[in-house]
Amino acid sequence: MELPVDLQQTADTSNAAETTRPPTRMTRQQTLTLISMASVNFSSMICYSILGPFFPNEAVKKGASQTVIGLIFGCYAVCNLIGSLIMGKYIVQIGAKFMLVAGLFVSSGCTILFGLLDRAPAGAAFISICFIVRSIDALGFAAAMTSTFAMTGKIFPNNVATVLGCLEVFTGLGLILGPPLGGWLYQSFGYEVPFMLLGCFLLIMVPFNIYVLPSIEAEPSKDSFLPLLSKVKILLICYVIFTLSAGLGFLDATLSLFAMAKFNLSAGFVGLIFLGLSLPYCLGSPLIGYISDKYPSTRSWFMVTGGAVTAFGFVMLGPVPFLHIQGQLWLQVFMLVVIGFSLGMTVIPTFPEIITCAYEHGYDEGLSTLGMVSGLFGAFWSAGMFYGPIVGGLITQNLSFEWAAAIHGGVVFLGAFLLAVYCLCRPLQPQSVPKDSQPTDENTPLLTD
């Protein structure tokens, strides 16, 4: 049925207006969401990263071994893993905005409580309270970050990688400021002040996000995580996520002690060394996100290249003993710079690529699917954060930091290699796609189930 002439002209005018409308202008909801997500990333990561320069040394004074320190870092990851899966599955029922705000509130309280742990008796009491507070903090962090990723995918469906890359600037700023600020505050004012100050800062973010964060309504889905993990590419990407987070967890638990012993550095100077890891990640992420959105076919090769370079950085971080290269401070800082930039190359494309794979395999394009993908990302990231400190701590304690870093480099390289093999072999069977199938473009999978 044809429209009347005047209605047809109105429709044509409306379509023309939509066509000529500037595509880069964000709506008010998108602007508020971006501000909220940036504040969450910054405040959460600055509170998370202050531990690296001085907590391992403080825990040693309280009677904790290198392995126990690794377990304290690792328990955070286990609870984060469990929390990510639960929050991702039930994000629609709980509510994305409530989940984020409640997570921030819990994390702020736990950060403040962690600053009181120096008053706990040394030995079992100190270690037990560390486990309890870190576990609860992890659940709050899981709620906040799962909601952050899901809402980003919902409100910026066509620019997920670009927005994540921009948000990682604030993640990087939190990682950059956390270690040196925490180290300086620890040296100047003692153990309690860093946690009290930053915990209160995180608490201020709660009413701010209540005000600026938009509410999102959605219908729950009956889909689950297991079908996602049955897809080879998604499974490989999840393994890549696991290896990268394991590397960061390993460095958090071991690098400060190694640098202090090897180069006779203070806690404040160790905090500056961590800048070499976070600053390149912060600066490179927006560019990588933009390229990933503009050329989606590059995402897999970003992950492969970034993984290979990250593996090289870990091998040379010690460096590995069989190379017979003398370990020097400048070399360690340079390798941290290499690892930081390559981490951005690898991490940024993972989330939008999993979303694309999920949609290609029939998952609903809504908040429920985004929540599951976000929970899956958080779960594997947390699994790596559990594996890295514990296994890395054990290898460091029984062999050396140099060998532990090199072994982890091999684990990272395996993920990059397997993904490269998949990407190279996948185009070899284009005939598996029926000729009468739907039109394809660069985002359409060559192999279908």
Q: Residue 20: CB partners within 8 Å, gap ≥ 6? A: none
Question: What's the burial of 25, exposed, middle or buried (CB within 10 Å: 0-12/13-18/19+)?
Answer: exposed
Residue type, 81: L
DSSP helix/strand/coil, 363: coil
**Cα(50)–Cα(198) distance, integer angstroms:** 9
Is residue 314 within 8 Å of 404, Cβ to Cβ?
no
Handedness of CA 368, 374, 377, 381 (dihedral sign): negative
Which residue, among 115, 169, 119, 164, has the nearest Cα to 137 in the 3D structure? 115
Phi and psi at residue 75, to the nearest 5°: -65, -30
For the chain, the straight-line distance linking the first and the last C-alpha, in angstroms and rounded, comes to 39
392 DSSP 8-state letter: H
**Cα(259)–Cα(154) distance, integer angstroms:** 42
**Cα(421)–Cα(415) distance, integer angstroms:** 10
pLDDT by residue, tens only, the chain of 449 residues: 444 544 444 444 444 443 334 445 667 777 777 887 887 888 777 777 777 667 777 788 878 777 787 777 768 778 888 888 888 877 777 887 888 888 889 988 888 888 888 788 888 888 888 888 888 988 888 888 888 877 777 777 777 777 777 787 787 777 777 777 777 788 788 778 888 888 888 888 888 888 777 776 666 666 666 777 778 888 888 898 898 888 887 887 777 777 777 777 766 677 677 777 777 887 788 888 888 878 888 888 888 888 888 889 888 887 877 877 777 777 878 888 888 888 888 888 888 888 888 877 777 777 777 777 878 888 888 888 778 877 887 888 788 888 888 888 888 888 888 888 888 887 544 333 333 334 444 444 444 44
**Cα(204)–Cα(43) distance, integer angstroms:** 10
**Cα(430)–Cα(445) distance, integer angstroms:** 10
Is the pTM here over 0.85, yes or no?
Answer: no
Buried b or exposed e, range 290-299, using 16+ CB within 10 angstroms? bbbbeebebb
The two tokens of residue 158 are 């066509």
DSSP helix/strand/coil, 88: helix
